[in-house]
Structure 1
Amino acid sequence: MGLALILMVGAQAWAQGRQYGNLRGTAKDATDSILPGVTIEVTSEALQGTRTTVTDLNGNYQIVGLPPGQYSASFALQNFATVDRQFNVEVGRDTAVNVAMPVGGVREAVDVLGAVPTPLTETEISQNITGDRVDTLPMARDLFSIAELAPGLTANTVTDGQIAINGSFGYDNIYLIDGVDINDNLLGTANDLFIEDAIDETQILTSGISAEYGRFSGGVVNAITKSGGNRFSGSFRASLFKPDWTARTPFEIENDNDRTGTLADNTTYETTVGGPIVRDRLWFFYANRRQRESADDTLPVSGASFVRSVENDRNLIKLTGSIAPGHTLEGSYLRNMTNQVRPSIPSAIDPATLTSPEIPNDLWVATYRGAVNSSLFIEGRVSRREFGSRNQGGTLTAAKESPFLSVFQGTGLDLFNAPAFDSNDPEDRNNRQVTASATYFLPTELGTHSIKGGFEHFQSTRTTGGSQSATSFIFIAPYAENPDGSPLLDADGRFVPLFGAPAPFFPIRLEYFPVLGASIDINTLSFYVNDSWAVNDHVSVNLGVRAEKITSDATDSLVGLDTSAAVPRLSLGDGRFTFQTTYSHYVGKYSESQFARNTIVGIAPELEQEYIGPPGQGRNFAPGFDDANYETVGADFPTQNVFFEDGLKSPRTKEFTVSGGAALGTRGYAKVTYINRRASDFVEDFVTLDGGSTTVTGNDGEEFGTFSNLNFRNTDALERNYDGLEFQGRFQATNAFLIDGSYTVQINNDGNFEGEARSAGAISSNAFDYPEVTPANRYYPTGRLKNFQRH
């Protein structure tokens, strides 16, 4: 269950994170008396047809579900002069347009396009960035780069492509395209299910986020794509690159490796086109992106040269139709196909580790929005995202074709001899999402209520046996070196593995028993309701509840999850000078990297075996590949010696904020916010003397030995604490000149729980692995976390 309570003195705050904007306001006469019954009609090139409503008994009105863009509105009432207004609507925000209507007289028109929609009255901390603004800035145009412009956010994370918001885990944010979650299931990075020139506007929410959204402890990156219009329009962009435009590194010069490649082999083209099929009834939008990259690259340690290449094709088609005034159907499909030539892992040092993976990525979305009447707005959406990985690893099955890892040479994780992973075990990371909501506008003598309720069913699916090698083996062993320290190659130009070397170089063999095609579904069913109550012109209250039920189902009918989660907020403010405070709980995502830990999905059962045979070297040294020369010293069989406590849940983050700000006339604002976050309920594995042990057996009943149990449970014995200050400001000096910026200071970003690792997503620590001999001050001391960045 979740509870959100907001008390705010000032303008009303509606639910955020939407894929549209809202219009609201109050109509009064020249004596400041309210005017019920005023008819408001809005038009825009972004809108199919028109939308109308009337003011209620308190003189208030709202129009929900307006596509972002420039709008005109007329306010009409018998015996009063008609008033015209022009304004902008932004994604995820409310635009307030209040009018004072003179009696009779001449029609009044006011252009307020230059006025900045101020976030002073909004309880969340957010940043809106349009595609046009991105085009004017010297920056990359993907969602990760756009998000970096927001306050409270850093890219100083353990995995490339992640963002950390207010000290949160880098894997624990939500990326949305047209309302659909496009996160990678494990890493929390955004799938490239967009074409940069097709992004219309992006909103980044970092604090005080509505209970309408869950499954994160960081923030929300909410982007929408273009939809076409009543006029044909389009764009074409060519990005050209030549490898020798970049200077060679000293390592490339030392190994006499040139950078070759032509402009024709290193280009990216983007095309967009949109327009009407039937004016005001049916629009189309199409976008295409074609990327080709091919250039010489150099492997670390060995200095071997290879040609790294990328072929990426993306196509987007989107249709938007008006089935009746105020009722819209929208459907889109995006196909993203990538083919690469690259090393199996970044620390690969041997040309034999190169792979040619194929990465298919698809997104289907269908959305309905409708204004049933002036008081009721409803919305529904269904979607499916698919992400796959094919030909990711090796194909040869002879033991001597196994991957070798050297952990005491070169990079510290040198991969040689063969690719890691198994091309016979393709991986899929998919999701399905169904959402529905209704917003009801209810005027009463005690104020006006905007009540929004809805549900979301989100299913995250991962399919893979977690095979680490096509041979079922990985050897941890060093390679032979020349006197100058470079790798020694045999007569076939292959690396020479060493067997029986003195400690710490003695070989370890990891043997895996994957179940190819193993799968897990993690299901999150959420319900929420928010009542935004405008008591009067100065006071509003927002009361909300969110309930989540999380379950999982995996191959072999394993059940690992059965739990639930929560949210609260409070805000205060007054007049031109606004003061606010919010209090929120965020419950993080249920990632397969953590909550499939007691299954065989992505985690193949594993034996750790120590080499006890004679010393030798080379790929043809038979004793090094003989089963009789290995002794089992460890095992990890997730379905036998890994256990979840009942009610195991994702970590929780509690957030408290205080904000103060002021409007700079009608063209800008300045705002400062203090953010305090404290995380708890960390997911930890406990390996203790009283945790027991299990005799691990194979499918044929063979006993491999007795090994300690891993018991996963939540703990508050560890900590992650964040305190920060965020400064935001914007000023529209002229219609053509905008000053917009933010500045963040991390006062404190400390703790003793990292909870994530490079390219791994959520993980546990070693804090409670044999705690009898691992004291806290030595094995998990408190200090600055890895994503600390003062400014």
Structure 2
Amino acid sequence: MKKIHFTYVQFFLLSFVLIGLMQANGLLAQSSTILGTVQDETDAVLPGVSVTATNLGTNQSRTVISDDEGRYRVSQLSSGTYEVQAELSGFSTGVRRPIVLVLDSQAVVNFSLSIGQITERVVVTGEAPLVETTSAVTANLVDDRQIRDLPLNGRDLVQLALLQEGVVQNTKNLKTQGGNDGIFVSMAGARIHQNAFLLDGTDIRGARGNMPAGAAGSVAGIETIKEFKVITGAFSAEYGQFTGGVITAITKSGTNDLHGSVYEYHRNAALDARNFFDVDPQDPLTRSKVPNFIRNQFGFSLGGPVVKDKTFIFTSLEV
């Protein structure tokens, strides 16, 4: 029998591939889908139509062919703004834009093609319907604008989950413990350790099953997270092992446009008001002064193309 010898490099490469395969199912939950039906002007279905979805930020595209019933499905798309184009010989080309995809969503985009030259383009400007008709999941999206604009104590984005119905903060832990665990939350009436927190498809809860947090008490820098979804009921089997709720987040990515930010957030005792109920422990009838406090949070983010239309990079740091 011939012996098989592995070098250290081969061993680590094989381990990397196996780890990637283990995370494949979780990553599918982070992607979105565009689906619909292609018909002609008489409402007859059109098979064999070439449907292309193009990300307007990266110019990357994916093409599928409609089936015998005129249906098509473009899956595993990252969140962003898309243009969808339907082409068939003997018919004018149909174009729909902008189609905005958010985390783990399905956009229904139907086409009605008219007879004409394929070089003729019929452009329909308008977003896909916002009403979810393809899933019974009880969920709410927290988009990048809410993450960026709403005030957060310590810039911990998990606090935004408390704005969703069915999510409450547990009084057992009102602050970060040990720089490892974030706030305890109860979702859909379940225990605090029965929730999932996924970042780009990977479970990143603490060792004790708590909400994750770094030394600053937050899971990641605000500039790093693009959006996240809070799922509190009727979630599918891809979110197994949890009886409470799911918080699934995705990080930002680079585009063809170079973009970034530099920031610093400052807070100290001079800018804080004294708590009305604070009193001097030595003299309960005397109100105490504002406790000494100072906090500086600063960082940067930068994203852009490495190779235009092909490879992109995004990096951020917050301390």
- Which category describes the TM-score, using the shorter chain as reference length? 0.7 to 0.9
Q: 1:14-413 residue pairs with structure 2 within 5 A?
A: 18-47=29-58, 49-86=60-97, 87-104=99-116, 106-113=120-127, 115-139=128-152, 141-160=155-174, 161-192=183-214, 193-249=219-275, 250-255=277-282, 259-260=291-292, 266-290=295-319
Counterpart of 1:152, as a letter, is: G
CA-atom RMSD, angstroms? 2.3
SS of 1:147 mapped into structure 2: helix
The C-alpha deviation readout for 1:280-299, integer Å capped at 9, x for no partner, is 22211110112xxxxxxxxx
Q: Does structure 2 conserve the Cα–Cα contact (< 8 Å) formed by 1:182 and 1:191?
A: no
Q: What is the CA–CA distance in structure 1 between the aligned matches of 2:245 and 2:171, rounded to whole Å?
A: 15
Measured at CA, do residues 171 and 17 of structure 1 come closer, stay the same or move farther in structure 2, by a change above 3 Å?
A: farther
Counterpart of 1:286, as a letter, is: T
Q: What is the CA–CA distance in structure 1 between the aligned matches of 2:58 and 2:312, rounded to whole Å?
A: 11
* Aligned-residue offset at 1:175: 0.5
Measured at CA, do residues 191 and 138 of structure 1 come closer, stay the same or move farther in structure 2, by a change above 3 Å?
A: closer
Number of aligned positions between the proteins: 272
SS of 2:239 mapped into structure 1: coil
Counterpart of 2:86, as a letter, is: F
Q: What is the CA–CA distance in structure 2 between the aligned matches of 1:51 and 1:99, rounded to whole Å?
A: 17
Measured at CA, do residues 127 and 240 of structure 1 come closer, stay the same or move farther in structure 2, by a change above 3 Å?
A: same
The C-alpha deviation readout for 1:441-462, integer Å capped at 9, x for no partner, is xxxxxxxxxxxxxxxxxxxxxx
Q: Sequence identity, in percent?
A: 28
Measured at CA, do residues 136 and 110 of structure 1 come closer, stay the same or move farther in structure 2, by a change above 3 Å?
A: farther
Q: Does structure 1 conserve the Cα–Cα contact (< 8 Å) formed by 2:137 and 2:235?
A: yes
Q: Which ranges of structure 1 fall in alignment gaps of 5 or more residues?
A: 1-14, 291-791
TM-score (norm 2): 0.78
Measured at CA, do residues 254 and 244 of structure 1 come closer, stay the same or move farther in structure 2, by a change above 3 Å?
A: farther
The C-alpha deviation readout for 1:227-276, integer Å capped at 9, x for no partner, is 11111101122211112333445555344666345xxx521113100111
Measured at CA, do residues 116 and 238 of structure 1 come closer, stay the same or move farther in structure 2, by a change above 3 Å?
A: farther
Q: What is the CA–CA distance in structure 2 between the aligned matches of 1:143 and 1:56, rounded to whole Å?
A: 42
Measured at CA, do residues 163 and 17 of structure 1 come closer, stay the same or move farther in structure 2, by a change above 3 Å?
A: farther
Q: Does structure 2 conserve the Cα–Cα contact (< 8 Å) formed by 1:144 and 1:163?
A: no
Greater share of helix residues, 1 or 2? 2
Q: Which ranges of structure 2 fall in alignment gaps of 5 or more residues?
A: 1-25, 175-182, 283-287
Q: What is the CA–CA distance in structure 1 between the aligned matches of 2:152 and 2:164, rounded to whole Å?
A: 14
Q: What is the CA–CA distance in structure 1 between the aligned matches of 2:203 and 2:221, rounded to whole Å?
A: 16
Q: What is the CA–CA distance in structure 2 between the aligned matches of 1:33 and 1:282, rounded to whole Å?
A: 40
SS of 2:280 mapped into structure 1: helix
The C-alpha deviation readout for 1:206-233, integer Å capped at 9, x for no partner, is 1110011212111110000011111110
Higher relative contact order (CA 8 A, sep 6+): 2
TM-score (norm 1): 0.33
Q: Does structure 2 conserve the Cα–Cα contact (< 8 Å) formed by 1:179 and 1:222?
A: yes
SS of 2:223 mapped into structure 1: helix
SS of 2:147 mapped into structure 1: helix
Does 142-151 or 57-66 show the bigger shift?
142-151
SS of 1:121 mapped into structure 2: coil
Q: What is the CA–CA distance in structure 1 between the aligned matches of 2:129 and 2:207, rounded to whole Å?
A: 37
Q: What is the CA–CA distance in structure 1 between the aligned matches of 2:150 and 2:133, rounded to whole Å?
A: 25
The C-alpha deviation readout for 1:477-507, integer Å capped at 9, x for no partner, is xxxxxxxxxxxxxxxxxxxxxxxxxxxxxxx
Q: What is the CA–CA distance in structure 2 between the aligned matches of 1:238 and 1:126, rounded to whole Å?
A: 33
Q: What is the CA–CA distance in structure 2 between the aligned matches of 1:149 and 1:19, rounded to whole Å?
A: 22
Q: Does structure 1 conserve the Cα–Cα contact (< 8 Å) formed by 2:143 and 2:228?
A: yes
